[in-house]
């Protein structure tokens, strides 16, 4: 005999990148699993799985959240923004200035942390359009990048802020 | 995550009923518990998710010389609250040193305190402010001082079926305090040692010191400060209190520091915090 | 118009400028900033999911594995154990690049906590997870050994009975287990007369240094998809791996099928740093797929990476004989490697890092003893710096110790002894390597000899500075091949076995290709490898790709040019000697034609493809250079502030230099230099796998702390040195590892300078610094 328990099933309604979705999900599904496995939004990556690395960062009602620790049932009635929706939040160009600046400064190498880094940076610029180096370090304090050494990320965020304020 | 049954009550009463009915464990922000479930350290069969109580129990209210904070209020909400920044700046400052904004956006003060991890940053600060925890259960409501609420290693005064409803923190412009967090491995880390020192402005007032990460609870109060400072406060006497802190703590050695080191740091940061809060001796921060 | 193919017209007005030495936007950039990039786990998948059950004892005999409860869960397809594989007639279940000492799943015995013992295959990942908790493994505990000193004692429990070379690589053909207990391989190097050297020295100084096991922390964990095709008895494997051709060979061998029946595809990787080399979980996933005759995917968690591959710990003894005026005349280095339960590539590491264990210095009398030791811990594999990060920690800390002993400036001592470009190393010629220039660059940048640090006003804060320099080999011998397909429209596809791990190889190879043909980089497509079409490539390791694949591509481009000349000569009826291919044109005595014009007009039927092949092997024509195809060199200057009451320090400023030979793209080179440095900052400040009773207790990023943005020095300078490698494409060579090596000793030396604390065991925690301060004041 085994100790297998069925998870409870829940109905949720939410928005992802502006699109309204309603679906039925099991209780033990995390938000990053819902995004990647159910919705095939694979831009959001899962790194450490314990909320420390920041790869899986998404916005829920405009706030940064670790989607690897968030139960998917908790987005019921809420609005989620993932990397796939980032460009559309900026009307003046095809890409969000953060995306352009990260390319220009090579604020990425392997790219695995980049979606979380960009989403976190967007949340920063939303509340602080002209951040200092220190503001950037504080906001991205636990967004781990194992490749770049971070300096190019700081430069990219500042350059994006400049573009958006111009 | 392994499967579990999940319930989403909309009131404390409903939550308490569901916990009893299904022998379910409560989660609020879930950032700590989800980690334990994912790492399979904790394998619950049923969970009561308090998220829907957020509507009624996420608040910061000023009342009768106290600030009352609903259990479902996120750490980030508290940290950025104008009321807290004005009346309890040490609380706002302490919270800003916890984990990341990402975690603080979700983690709630109720969940944080109920977790009772010995490494928590907030409890020593709340102890220094003499905060009270309001508890709700089947039998009704009761209140407990934070110092008695946290009882041991991941252990609180919460009985089966009880939940934290709110936290009340007295506001006094006469009381000043500081929290120093010493990180050993990275600027993004748990404390190696965290020291909170508090003192009233009144003449003859004796400071109090609470330390986390060096005992089985996050609130280790240094005993015997009154005797040392009975004839006034000097830099040498502050060093003596530092020695007391080193002696009284009982840390576990790990990658953040050996027992020797954590004892030393409990003393050192006690000295630093006391120098700040008393204004005696040169600042070391 | 006779042709329907759009012809690419080079801009005839603009003078062609070289793409070499210029910053171009990364070709994979758009996909990475939009989330469109596909890592293995992002690919659509239909099939079963696996989860691994691991050993919870460090050393034990497997008594029983009960699988019934797991198998009774709805949705579970199978539970596979090592015994199942041992009894199967379709697999020979041991793997390894040096020795075949590692079972695909533990067979009979477990040798470390975390070793794969069984695997559950289920319809969904969550079912596999539940079922894995129902598999009960019973082990009879055996005496275990987790320390390299105890492991080599006569009465130590033996991890492996015997070991013969896997005989795959020429340089590892002769490796064999040592007579000494648990020594997987012992390397020895003798140059000159060591004893005589010590006798002639004025001062002989000896000290011990150590590094712990650490992990790569590639943010993308191990993910592999294997699909067995029963009708063809063939496999398709999609995996994040730096050595797809090795995976193909090893998988083919264990299943007894030809290489051509194993297709290995490597999408983009989310970091690797040496971890995803040779075979990791690929043989297991292939075996599971073979067992259930269906596609199987295994996505490990980040914690499981610590169970899969780590960097060897080391204990190093350095003994140096030096004259009063600072000439190092003898050095003995003994490095004992904690290689964990399976050898993997450690024998090569022991050999290559052993060779440069004396650092960047030209010392006449040298003895190196370097031993890879089995312990009951996770297997040590390749990691950025390939052992030199560990040996240089010892030797570069030691040089400062020696300088202090003879009262000489440590940088002066380095300058006096560093091996010169074109000089000798270990008694033989070394060619151009750039080490002195790298050292000089940081010395000049900070005016080392002309400046004295100002101490802060706070008395408990002390400032200090330190420098370290390195010399490292690259994997040698090795081979890279490239195919460049030129289409009738003038655009090209580059096909190689080079994998994109974040280092930017796709873009660098596109730059070299576009520059070689004189076409715009937008017309170049560089493919990630699939072994069914990609020609052989030894590995994407050892910072070898720009050098080896770049050379192979230049060869392929030359072949294309020859063909273009031939076509033009045929079609225009002129002598070949009157035709050259340059700046994107086929220039002839009768006029200039675009490449696409020449190709398109030569073929009929709507198109045609020219195939250029290039081959680069370091076996050929490399007199005196056999030890390394090129040398990686670099230096670090670190300036620290130490709080002498807590032992906590901050790096206020650092300067990192590295020799790129020639920077194909300076921005990408800077990214490699700083990235390597910051990774090593973690090894310096915090990273250590902590074991208690053979079990790692900090197996997640909650407790295993890697550098965060707040840990990185706020003042940073990167210096690209360009010594021009005589054999590199445009003079270029690898630059990905130099500063992983130099950062820890530079910081350790700076801390010693600041407060007197000499920490000789990484990581340099505040705890150790404070102890060091107390010891120094005693």
Q: What are the pLDDT digits (tens) for C381-402?
A: 999 999 999 999 999 999 999 9
| Domains C429-476+622-778 and C478-617 equal at CATH topology level | yes
Question: What average pLDDT does this structure show over C17-30?
Answer: 93
B186:C688 CB<8 A: no
Q: Per-domain residue ranges for chain C?
A: 429-476+622-778, 478-617
Question: What average pLDDT does this structure show over B137-146?
Answer: 97
Question: What average pLDDT does this structure show over C288-293?
Answer: 98
| Per-residue model confidence as pLDDT tens digits over C442-490 | 999 999 999 999 999 999 999 999 999 999 999 999 999 999 999 999 9
Collapsed DSSP state (helix, strand, coil) of residue C707: coil
Residue C16 pLDDT grade (very low, low, confident, very high; cuts 50, 70, 90): low
B41 touches chain A (CB under 8 A): no
- Which stretch of A40-54, C110-124, C602-616, C647-661 has the lowest confidence by average pLDDT? C602-616
Question: What average pLDDT does this structure show over C542-563?
Answer: 97
Residue C166 pLDDT grade (very low, low, confident, very high; cuts 50, 70, 90): confident
Q: Give the rounded distance of the alpha carbon of C6 from its chain centre.
A: 42
Beta-carbon contacts below 8 Å between A and B: 93
Using alpha carbons only, give the angle B58, B59, B63 rounded to the nearest 5 degrees.
150
Examine the pLDDT at C1 and tell me if it is beyond 80.
no
Using alpha carbons only, give the angle C274, C276, C279 rounded to the nearest 5 degrees.
120
Using alpha carbons only, give the angle C439, C444, C450 rounded to the nearest 5 degrees.
120
Interface test with B, best of A71, A75, A140 (most B CBs within 10 A): A71
Residue A5 pLDDT grade (very low, low, confident, very high; cuts 50, 70, 90): confident
Beta-carbon contacts below 8 Å between A and C: 177
Share of chain C above pLDDT 70, in %: 97
Nearest C-alpha in C relative to B265: C646
Nearest C-alpha in C relative to A42: C42
Q: Are A156 and A104 in contact (CB under 8 A)?
A: yes
Region A87-165: CATH code: 1.10.150.120
pLDDT at C626: 63
Examine the pLDDT at B228 and tell me if it is beyond 50.
yes
Q: Which two tokens stand for residue C37?
A: 């990039």
pLDDT at C5: 44
- Which stretch of A139-143, B203-207, C188-192, C712-716 has the lowest confidence by average pLDDT? B203-207
pLDDT at C7: 52
* Secondary-structure class of domain C429-476+622-778 per CATH: alpha beta
SS3 letters for C183-233? Answer: EEEEEEEEECCHHHHHHHCCEEEEEEEEECCECCCCCCCCEEEEEEECCCC
Question: What average pLDDT does this structure show over C418-424?
Answer: 94
Question: What average pLDDT does this structure show over C124-147?
Answer: 96
Residue B226, min C-alpha distance to chain A (Å): 38
Question: What average pLDDT does this structure show over C307-328?
Answer: 98
Region A9-82: CATH code: 3.10.20.30
pLDDT at C170: 84
Residue B51, min C-alpha distance to chain A (Å): 7
Dist CA C284 CA C54 (whole Å): 13
C685:B258 CB<8 A: no
pLDDT at C14: 46
Residue B107, min C-alpha distance to chain C (Å): 16
SS3 letters for C68-121? Answer: HHHHCCCCEEEEEEHHHHHHCCCCCCEECCCECCEECCCCCEECCCCCEEEEEE
SS3 letters for chain B? Answer: CCCCEEECCCCHHHHHHHHHHHCCEEECCCHHHHHHHHCCCCCCCEEEEHHHHHHHHCCEEEECCEEEEECCCEHHHHHHCHHHHHHCHHHHHHHCCCCCHHHHCCCEHHHHHHHCCCCCCHHHHHHHCCCEEEEEECCEEEEEEHHHHEEECCEECCCCCCEEEEEEEECCCCEEEEEEEECCCCCCCCCCEEEEEEEECCCCCCCEEEEECCCCCCCEECCCHHHHCCCCCCHHHHHHHHHHHHHHCCCCCECCECHHHHHHHHHHHHHHHHHHHHCCCCCCC
C133 vs B2, B192, B265: nearest CB: B2
Interface test with A, best of B51, B100, B187 (most A CBs within 10 A): B100
Please name the residues in contact with C503: beta carbons below 8 A apart, sequence gap of 6 or more: A109, C545, C668, C672, C736
pTM of the model: 0.97
Residue C4 pLDDT grade (very low, low, confident, very high; cuts 50, 70, 90): very low
Examine the pLDDT at C41 and tell me if it is beyond 50.
yes
Residue B218 pLDDT grade (very low, low, confident, very high; cuts 50, 70, 90): very high
Average confidence score pLDDT of chain C: 95
* Secondary-structure class of domain C478-617 per CATH: alpha beta
Residues of chain A with CATH 1.10.150.120: 87-165
pLDDT at C187: 96
Chains that touch A (3 or more CB pairs under 8 A): B, C
Question: What average pLDDT does this structure show over C532-549?
Answer: 98
pLDDT at C322: 98
Nearest to C485 by CA among C614, C587, C576: C614
| Per-residue model confidence as pLDDT tens digits over B196-214 | 999 999 989 999 999 999 9
pLDDT at C624: 45
pLDDT at B270: 98
Specify burial of residue C244 (Cβ count, 10 A radius: 0-12, 13-18, 19+). Answer: buried
Alpha helix (H) ranges present in C576-702? 595-602, 666-685
Question: B96 or C623: whose pLDDT is higher?
Answer: B96
Residue C618 pLDDT grade (very low, low, confident, very high; cuts 50, 70, 90): confident
| Per-residue model confidence as pLDDT tens digits over C207-257 | 999 999 999 999 999 999 999 999 999 999 999 999 999 999 999 999 999
C73:A142 CB<8 A: no
Residues of chain A with CATH 3.10.20.30: 9-82
Question: What average pLDDT does this structure show over C756-764?
Answer: 98
Interface test with C, best of B184, B194, B270 (most C CBs within 10 A): B184
C685:B2 CB<8 A: no
C685:B40 CB<8 A: no
Examine the pLDDT at B43 and tell me if it is beyond 50.
yes
pLDDT at C17: 62
| Per-residue model confidence as pLDDT tens digits over B29-39 | 999 999 999 99
Examine the pLDDT at C2 and tell me if it is beyond 50.
no
Examine the pLDDT at A59 and tell me if it is beyond 60.
yes
Nearest to C76 by CA among A138, B179, A4: A4
On chain C, the residues whose CB falls within 8 A of the CB of A110 are 218-220, 268-271, 501-502
Specify burial of residue C319 (Cβ count, 10 A radius: 0-12, 13-18, 19+). Answer: middle
| Per-residue model confidence as pLDDT tens digits over A97-134 | 999 999 999 999 999 999 999 999 999 999 999 999 99
């Amino acid at each position: 005999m085994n100790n297998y328990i069925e998870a409870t099933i829940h109905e949720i309604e939410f928005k992802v990148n502006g699109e309204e979705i309603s679906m039925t999900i099991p209780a033990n599904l995390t938000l990053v699993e819902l995004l990647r496995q159910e919705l095939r939004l694979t831009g959001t990556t899962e790194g450490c799985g314990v909320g420390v690395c920041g790869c899986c960062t998404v916005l829920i009602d405009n706030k940064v959240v670790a989607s690897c620790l968030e139960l998917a049932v908790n987005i019921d009635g809420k609005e989620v923004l993932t990397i796939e929706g980032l460009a559309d939040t900026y009307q003046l160009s095809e890409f969000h200035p953060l995306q352009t600046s990260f390319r220009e400064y090579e604020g990425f190498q392997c790219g695995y942390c980049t979606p979380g880094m960009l989403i976190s940076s967007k949340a920063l610029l939303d509340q602080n359009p002209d951040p200092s180096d220190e503001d950037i370090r504080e906001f991205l304090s636990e967004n781990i990048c194992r490749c770049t050494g971070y300096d190019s990320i700081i430069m990219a965020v500042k350059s994006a802020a400049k573009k958006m304020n111009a | 995550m392994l499967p579990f049954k999940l319930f989403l009550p909309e009131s404390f009463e409903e939550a308490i009923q569901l916990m009893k009915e299904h022998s379910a464990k409560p989660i609020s922000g879930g950032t700590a518990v989800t980690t334990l479930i994912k790492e399979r350290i904790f394998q619950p069969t049923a969970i009561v998710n308090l998220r829907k109580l957020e509507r009624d129990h996420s608040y910061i209210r000023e009342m009768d010389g106290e600030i009352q904070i609903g259990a479902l209020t996120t750490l980030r909400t508290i940290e950025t609250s104008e009321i807290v920044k004005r009346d309890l700046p040490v609380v706002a400052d302490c919270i800003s040193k916890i984990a990341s904004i990402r975690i603080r956006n979700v983690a709630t003060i109720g969940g944080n305190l109920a977790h009772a991890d010995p490494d928590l940053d907030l409890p020593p600060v709340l102890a220094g402010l003499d905060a009270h925890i309001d508890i709700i259960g089947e039998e009704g409501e009761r209140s407990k001082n934070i110092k008695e609420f946290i009882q041991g290693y991941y252990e609180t005064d919460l009985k089966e079926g009880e939940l934290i409803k709110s936290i009340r923190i007295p506001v006094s412009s006469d009381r000043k305090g500081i929290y120093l967090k010493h990180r050993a491995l990275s600027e993004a880390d748990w404390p190696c040692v965290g020291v909170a020192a508090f003192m009233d402005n009144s003449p003859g007032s004796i400071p109090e010191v609470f330390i986390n990460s060096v005992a089985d609870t996050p609130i280790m109060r240094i005993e015997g400060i009154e005797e040392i400072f009975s004839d006034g406060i000097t830099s040498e006497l502050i060093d003596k209190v530092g020695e007391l802190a080193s002696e009284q703590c009982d840390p576990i050695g790990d990658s953040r520091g050996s027992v020797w080191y954590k004892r030393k740091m409990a003393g050192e940061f006690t000295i630093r915090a006391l120098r700040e809060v008393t204004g005696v001796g040169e600042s070391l921060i | 118009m006779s042709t329907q193919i759009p012809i690419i017209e080079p801009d005839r007005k603009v003078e062609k400028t070289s793409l070499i030495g210029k910053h171009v936007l990364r070709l994979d950039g758009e996909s990475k900033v939009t989330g469109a990039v596909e890592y293995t786990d992002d690919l659509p998948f239909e099939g079963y999911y696996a989860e691994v059950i691991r050993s919870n004892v460090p050393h034990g005999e497997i008594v029983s594995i009960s699988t019934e409860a797991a198998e009774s869960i709805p949705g579970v397809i199978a539970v596979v154990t090592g015994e199942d594989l041992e009894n199967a007639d379709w697999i020979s279940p041991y793997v390894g690049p040096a020795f075949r000492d590692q079972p695909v799943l533990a067979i009979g015995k477990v040798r470390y906590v975390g070793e794969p013992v069984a695997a559950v295959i289920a319809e969904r990942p969550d079912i596999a997870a539940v079922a894995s908790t129902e598999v009960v493994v019973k082990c009879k505990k055996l005496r275990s050994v987790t320390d390299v000193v105890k492991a080599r004692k006569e009465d130590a429990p033996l991890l492996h009975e015997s070991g013969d070379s896997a005989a795959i690589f020429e340089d590892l053909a002769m490796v064999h287990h040592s007579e000494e207990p648990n020594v997987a391989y012992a390397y020895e190097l003798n140059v000159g007369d060591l004893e005589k050297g010590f006798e002639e020295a004025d001062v002989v100084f000896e000290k011990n240094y150590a590094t712990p096991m650490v992990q790569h922390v590639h943010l993308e964990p191990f993910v592999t998809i294997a699909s067995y095709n029963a009708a063809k008895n063939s496999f398709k494997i999609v995996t994040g791996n730096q050595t797809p051709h090795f995976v193909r060979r090893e998988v083919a061998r264990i299943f007894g099928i030809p290489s051509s029946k194993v297709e290995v595809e490597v999408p983009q990787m989310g970091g690797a740093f040496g971890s995803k080399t040779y075979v990791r979980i690929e043989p297991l996933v292939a075996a599971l797929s073979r067992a259930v005759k269906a596609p199987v995917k295994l996505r490990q968690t980040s914690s499981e990476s610590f169970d899969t591959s780590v960097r060897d710990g080391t204990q190093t003894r350095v003994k140096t004989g030096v004259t009063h005026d600072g000439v190092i005349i003898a050095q003995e280095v003994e490095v004992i490697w904690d290689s964990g339960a399976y050898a993997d590539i450690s024998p090569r590491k022991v050999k290559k890092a052993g060779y440069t264990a004396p650092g960047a210095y030209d010392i006449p009398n040298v003895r190196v003893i370097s031993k890879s030791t089995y312990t009951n811990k996770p297997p040590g594999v390749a990691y950025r710096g390939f052992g030199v990060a560990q040996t240089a920690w010892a030797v570069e800390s030691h040089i400062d110790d020696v300088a202090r002993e003879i009262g000489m400036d440590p940088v002066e001592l380095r300058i006096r002894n560093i091996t010169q470009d074109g000089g000798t190393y270990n008694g033989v010629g070394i060619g151009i390597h750039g080490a002195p220039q790298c050292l000089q660059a940081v010395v000049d940048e900070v005016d080392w000899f002309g400046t004295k640090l100002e101490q802060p006003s706070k008395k408990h804060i002390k400032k200090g500075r330190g420098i370290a320099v390195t010399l490292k080999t690259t994997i040698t011998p090795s081979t890279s091949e490239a195919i460049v397909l030129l289409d009738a429209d003038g655009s090209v596809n580059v096909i190689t076995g080079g994998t994109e791990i974040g280092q930017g190889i796709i873009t660098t190879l596109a730059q070299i290709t576009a520059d070689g043909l004189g076409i715009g980089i937008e017309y170049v497509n560089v493919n990630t490898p699939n072994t069914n079409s990609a020609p052989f490539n030894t590995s994407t390791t050892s910072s070898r790709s720009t050098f080896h694949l770049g050379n192979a591509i230049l060869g392929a481009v030359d072949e294309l040019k020859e063909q273009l000349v031939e076509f033009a000569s045929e079609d225009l009826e002129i002598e070949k000697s009157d035709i050259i291919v340059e700046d994107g044109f086929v220039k002839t005595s009768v006029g200039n034609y675009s490449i696409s014009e020449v190709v398109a007009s030569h073929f009929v039927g709507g198109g045609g493809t020219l195939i250029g092949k290039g081959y680069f092997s370091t076996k050929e024509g490399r007199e005196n250079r056999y030890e390394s195809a090129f040398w990686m060199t670099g230096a670090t200057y670190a300036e620290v502030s130490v709080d002498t009451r807590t032992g906590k320090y901050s790096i206020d400023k650092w300067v990192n230099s590295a020799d790129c030979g020639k920077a194909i793209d300076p921005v990408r080179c800077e990214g490699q230099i700083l990235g390597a440095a910051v990774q090593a900052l973690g090894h310096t400040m915090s990273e250590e796998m902590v074991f208690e009773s053979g079990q790692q207790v900090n197996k997640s990023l909650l407790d295993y702390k890697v550098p965060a943005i707040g840990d990185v020095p706020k003042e940073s300078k990167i210096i690209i040195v360009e010594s021009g490698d005589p054999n590199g494409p445009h003079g270029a060579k690898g630059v990905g590892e130099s500063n992983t090596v130099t950062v820890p000793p530079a910081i350790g030396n700076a801390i010693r300078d600041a407060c007197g604390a000499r920490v000789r065991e990484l990581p340099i925690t505040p705890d150790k610094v404070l102890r060091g301060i107390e010891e120094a004041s005693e």
